[in-house]
């Protein structure tokens, strides 16, 4: 999706694409590996654009950076998933319209996404029945935070 002008991206589109590639990876990726994966997904991006995006996401606390040879490799942090989940909740909006938006969202899920969502819901129900949850609001199952932890 493009913004004003043929070569402009919608705000956040590149960051979302980079995060998606990193979540799919088996481990941290270098900027060159990230660029290659983005190219495979149909994005034609300069190395410098990818490297700059990785540095910016790291600066926002959404990526962790490790040394890889003479450069760095990047992997998403749990804060990245939380931020996207918060954004999704914000897009739902308040009131009765939430059910309509959710129904359209669910109707567009792939079979794999539907199975994942059902498994996550079942895991959450199991937590509620077995023991009190210490998850902070918005944390995914398995992403417990210690009491008093500050969220970003």
pLDDT tens for 124-148 read 887 766 555 444 444 444 444 333 3
Candidates 3.30.360.10, 2.60.120.10, 3.40.50.150, 1.10.10.10; correct CATH number of 13-78?
1.10.10.10
Token representation of residue 96: 């009765």
Q: Do the strands 71-76 and 63-68 form a parallel or antiparallel pair, or are they unpaired?
A: antiparallel
Please check whether residue 14 is in contact with residue 45, taking contact to mean a CB–CB distance below 8 angstroms: yes
Q: What is the mean pLDDT of residues 107-130?
A: 86
Enter the pTM of the model.
Answer: 0.63
Please check whether residue 84 is in contact with residue 90, taking contact to mean a CB–CB distance below 8 angstroms: no
Q: What is the mean pLDDT of residues 5-30?
A: 84
Q: Which residue has the higher pLDDT, 151 or 23?
A: 23
Per the prediction, the chain carries an average pLDDT of: 80
DSSP 9: B
CA proximity to 44, closest of 35, 52, 53, 34: 35
């Amino acid at each position: 999706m493009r913004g004003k002008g043929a070569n402009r991206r919608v705000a956040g589109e590149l960051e979302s694409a980079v995060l998606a590639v990193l979540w799919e990876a088996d481990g941290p990726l270098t900027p060159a590996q990230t660029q290659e994966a983005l190219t495979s997904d149909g994005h034609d991006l300069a190395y410098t654009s990818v490297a700059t995006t990785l540095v910016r996401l790291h600066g926002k606390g959404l990526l962790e950076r490790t040394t890889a040879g003479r450069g760095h490799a990047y992997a998403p942090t749990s804060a990245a998933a939380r931020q996207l989940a918060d954004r999704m909740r914000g897009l739902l909006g308040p009131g009765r319209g939430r059910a309509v938006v959710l129904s359209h969202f669910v109707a567009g899920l792939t079979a794999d996404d539907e199975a994942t969502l059902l498994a996550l819901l079942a895991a959450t129900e199991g937590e509620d029945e077995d023991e009190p949850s210490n998850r902070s609001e918005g944390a995914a199952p398995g992403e417990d935070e210690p009491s008093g932890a500050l969220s970003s």
